[in-house]
C-alpha cells in the first residue's frame, strides 16, 4: 500500500528543472569552450555560457530568497542521525531490496546524506563556480580592483574544478533519482510535487 504526500512546492519544482536545464546547457557550452567538440562555434559557446551563467545566478538569488522567506533552508541543516544507515543502504541495501532507512515527510524532505550533499553544493560548489566565473568574466577589471596579482590560469583551473565537481554531483543525483520504490517515482515527485511512499 502506498501513501501520497505533498513534498515539493511549485517554486521548488520550477527551480529544480530550470537549474538542471541551465547546468546541462552550461556543461555543453563549457566543454565546447575547452575545445572538446564544435557545436555552436567558440564565440557563440562563450556568449551562450555567459548568458546562461547570468540566468543561473539570477535563479540562485531567487532560490536563496525563497528558502529563507519560507523557512525551507531548514531542510539543509546537516545531521548524522541515520547517516550510516543511509550509506549502508546506498552501498548495498539498494541492490538487495532492503527497507529504506529514511521516511520522507513535508518537514524532512531529505535524508542525512542528501542534506550533506546539497549543503556541499550550496556552500562549496556553487560559490566556487560563482566567484571563479565572475572573476574570469571580469578579468579586464582586476587591476582596477587591486587584484591584478591573481593568476588567470588559477582562476580558470578553479572554475574547471568546480565544473567537474558539479558534473560528479549531477551524475550521482540522476542515478539516485532512480532509487525510489520505482525507478521513476522520485522523478515523478519532482514533476507533480507528490511523493508516493510505501
The three-state (H, E, C) secondary structure of 141-187, written as one string: HHHHHCCCCCCHHHHHHHHHHHHHHHHHHHHHHHHHCCCCCCCCHHH
Instruction: Give the span between the Cα atoms of 161 and 140, in whole angstroms.
Output: 22
Give me the residues paired with residue 5 across strands: 195
Instruction: Give the span between the Cα atoms of 15 and 9, in whole angstroms.
Output: 10
Give me the pLDDT at residue 197, please: 76
Give me the pLDDT at residue 101, please: 87
Percent of the chain with pLDDT over 90: 70
Instruction: Give the span between the Cα atoms of 78 and 180, in whole angstroms.
Output: 22
The pLDDT tens digits of the residues spanning 102-160 come to 888 888 889 999 999 998 998 999 999 999 999 999 999 999 999 999 999 999 999 99
Q: Which is nearest to 33 in space by CA: 24, 44, 19? A: 44
Residue found by looking up cell 547517516 in the block? 83
Q: Which contacts qualify for 117-126: CB closer than 8 Å, 24 or more apart?
A: 117/169, 117/172, 117/173, 118/76, 119/76, 119/78, 120/169, 121/166, 121/169, 122/76, 124/165, 125/162, 125/165, 125/166, 125/169, 126/60
Give this prediction's pTM: 0.89
3-state helix, strand, coil in the chain (%, to 5): 70, 5, 25
Residue found by looking up cell 511523493 in the block? 195
pLDDT-derived band of residue 99, with 50, 70 and 90 as boundaries? confident
Instruction: Give the span between the Cα atoms of 105 and 102, in whole angstroms.
Output: 10
Instruction: Give the span between the Cα atoms of 82 and 104, in whole angstroms.
Output: 13
Amino acid at each position: 500500500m502506498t501513501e501520497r504526500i505533498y513534498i515539493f512546492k511549485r517554486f521548488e519544482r520550477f527551480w529544480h528543472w530550470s537549474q538542471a536545464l541551465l547546468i546541462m546547457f552550461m556543461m555543453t557550452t563549457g566543454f565546447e569552450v575547452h575545445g572538446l567538440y564544435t557545436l555552436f562555434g567558440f564565440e557563440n559557446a562563450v556568449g551562450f555560457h555567459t548568458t546562461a551563467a547570468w540566468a543561473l545566478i539570477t535563479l540562485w538569488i531567487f532560490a536563496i530568497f525563497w528558502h529563507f522567506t519560507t523557512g525551507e533552508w531548514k531542510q539543509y541543516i546537516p545531521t548524522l542521525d541515520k547517516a550510516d544507515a543511509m550509506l549502508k543502504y546506498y552501498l548495498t541495501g539498494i541492490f538487495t531490496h532492503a527497507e529504506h532507512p529514511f521516511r520522507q515527510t513535508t518537514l524532512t524532505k531529505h535524508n542525512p546524506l542528501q542534506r550533506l550533499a546539497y549543503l556541499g553544493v550550496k556552500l562549496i560548489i556553487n560559490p566556487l563556480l560563482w566567484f571563479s566565473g565572475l572573476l574570469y568574466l571580469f578579468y579586464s577589471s582586476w587591476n582596477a580592483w587591486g587584484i591584478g596579482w591573481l593568476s588567470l590560469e588559477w582562476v580558470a583551473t578553479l572554475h574547471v574544478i568546480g565544473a567537474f565537481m558539479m558534473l560528479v554531483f549531477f551524475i550521482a543525483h540522476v542515478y539516485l533519482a532512480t532509487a525510489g520504490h520505482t525507478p521513476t517515482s522520485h522523478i515523478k515527485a519532482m514533476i507533480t510535487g507528490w511523493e508516493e511512499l510505501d
